[in-house]
Amino acid sequence: MSPPAAAAVPAIEARGIVNRFGAQTVHDGLDMTVVQGEVFGIVGGSGTGKSVLLRTILGLHRPQAGEVRIFGTDLTRLADAELRSVKASYGVTFQAGALFSSLTVLQNVQLPMLEHLSLPPRALEELAMLKVRLVGLSPEAAAKYPAQLSGGMVKRAALARALALDPRLLFLDEPTSGLDPIGAAAFDELVMGLQRELALTIVMITHDLDSIFRTCNRVGVIVDKRMVAGTLQEIVQHPHPWIQSYFHGDRARRFGVADGA
């Protein structure tokens, strides 16, 4: 996919991020920029701190150094109370769905609405059902509990909840993990359709090379405690050994990127 044609306006700017846990330094001067309207993929080997970076960007973890700006607001300098309004501007899905098992799909989707919106019960139900339909789930599925859903339906329910407050920015943590190739491709198509229809900016952490080639405008690779970012064509030509080993192979060649197409 090509980068957005419009002027590159930053949705996220991370500068000089340092994350340490005891004697272990996970990120050391990491920079990252995500422009509005793009799908930005984040990849990296085990232990490179992909989830730590996500938590840092979301304002759930304060780095030892550096700053994170979402739509120009520096999250690292906000008090917890001030973060609340910023958090309403983005939606998040987590790898296992993170749905509340004691609530139905519809009730799970309503949770962010109950926290941030003042609507009568009927309006809340109608709005939540709209989000459920938006991700391709039926009214019957909305009445079910997470344990009654397939893996793909759980992913869609979590996505509906992430879209509950009409966010401008969407974070997806391993969105296709646990899905078979057909289910993963269908979820990728759903994400791309929503990105176009809702003018979303999407940040996706994934190890799924097929999803990266299908959906991402640009990719950021965490190596040596920092990030190398660029288009797929730029990334696959980068000389770093890990990047070469990850992006060159049968799957990469199938998309014509590894050969410079």
pLDDT value at residue 49: 94
Contacts of 45 (CB under 8 A, 6+ apart): 222, 223, 242
Whether 136 shows a pLDDT value over 60: the answer reads yes
Closest C-alpha to 216, from 38, 13, 36, 10: 38
For 55, the token pair is 């938590």
Partner residues linked to 204 by β-bridges? 41, 172
Length of the chain: 261
- ∠ CA 82-86-90, nearest 5°, is 155
For 180-184, 221-225, 250-254, which range has the lowest pLDDT when averaged over its residues?
250-254
Contact 16, 191 (CB under 8 A): no
- Average confidence (pLDDT) over 79-89: 78
pLDDT value at residue 261: 44
pLDDT value at residue 7: 57
For 117-121, 146-150, 183-187, 215-219, which range has the lowest pLDDT when averaged over its residues?
117-121
- Average confidence (pLDDT) over 219-239: 95
Question: Please, which pLDDT band fits residue 9 given cuts at 50, 70 and 90?
Answer: confident
23 part of a folded domain: no
15 part of a folded domain: no
Contact 171, 39 (CB under 8 A): no
Coil vs helix vs strand at 12: strand
Per cent of the chain over pLDDT 70 is 92
Distance CA 110, CA 161 (A): 7
What is the residue range of 140's domain?
38-65+87-254
133: CATH: 3.40.50.300
156 part of a folded domain: yes
225 part of a folded domain: yes
Report pTM: 0.89
Distance CA 41, CA 1 (A): 12
9 part of a folded domain: no
Contact 58, 14 (CB under 8 A): no
For 9-18, 56-65, 248-257, which range has the lowest pLDDT when averaged over its residues?
248-257
Closest C-alpha to 39, from 246, 198, 155, 150: 198
29 part of a folded domain: no
For 82-96, 161-175, 227-241, which range has the lowest pLDDT when averaged over its residues?
82-96
Domain total for the chain?
1
79 part of a folded domain: no
21 part of a folded domain: no
Bigger pLDDT: 30 vs 88: 30
For residue 164, the tally of other CB atoms under 10 A from its CB is 24
**Helix, strand, coil percentages for the chain (3-state, nearest 5):** 40, 25, 35
